[in-house]
Amino acid sequence: MQKFKLTLAAAALVAALPLLQGCVAAAVGAGATVGVMSAHDRRTTTVQADDEAVEWKATQQVPEAYREASHLNFTAFNRRLLITGEVPSEEARSAIGERVGKLDGIKEVFNETTVGPASSLTKRSNDSYITSKVKARLVDEKTLSANHIKVVTESGTVFLMGIVGDREGKVAVQITRTTDGVRKVVNLFEVVSDAEIKRMSTLPANNNSSTAQPAPVESR
């Protein structure tokens, strides 16, 4: 029972971190948020700052006509931008993707928005909880560092971003797809060679397992 309580507490803490970081960014700018993780990030500090700036700029590119009826999230990692959420029409989806894609500093855009009504607060809370569970399990896994992986959940679909080695990516995908509540995993990892990973960082080894039903995986 005690272990169960501690696990829930850890998951809650992980879920709160993005909110806390968002408050810091709003108060003093993107640079402060970047500084929190820069020492453990495989991106350069310049790229980290660029990613933070792109996320903010992307929100400004949503046409006024679609703002009220849309629920959108912009997540940038290593100059690759993920757009998730709901939009009112295919026209809105295309317009937003096209405008955001013209921003400087973006190498690739993954427009994963869906056409439909904006998700409810209940659904968003559930997505946040799923993200917290995935992050908590990644933190527990000793063969990789959760600092190198960005987790985004939308309607039960989990998107994974980051710069990883082949083995790291496979472990992270397996952990995610066997996490309770995950409907599907979309793999957006940038996979680099073992030599490059070794140059960037040295990680310990361990193993992880779960009894949850594996979710399907899509690669983009």
Q: Are 182 and 176 in contact (CB under 8 A)?
A: yes
Token pair 């272990």 is found at 3
DSSP alpha helix (H) spans, 30-120: 30-37, 45-60, 64-67, 90-101
Q: How many CA atoms lie within 13 A of 172 on its CB side?
A: 30
pLDDT tens string, the chain, 220 residues long: the values are 444 444 444 554 444 444 333 332 322 233 333 344 456 788 889 999 999 999 999 999 999 999 999 999 999 999 999 999 999 999 999 999 999 999 998 999 999 999 999 999 999 999 999 999 999 999 999 988 898 899 999 999 999 999 999 999 999 999 999 999 999 999 999 999 988 877 765 433 344 444 567 888 888 8
- Distance between CA atoms of 193 and 163, rounded to whole angstroms? 10
Give the residue among 175, 147, 174, 142 at the shortest CA–CA distance from 162. Answer: 147
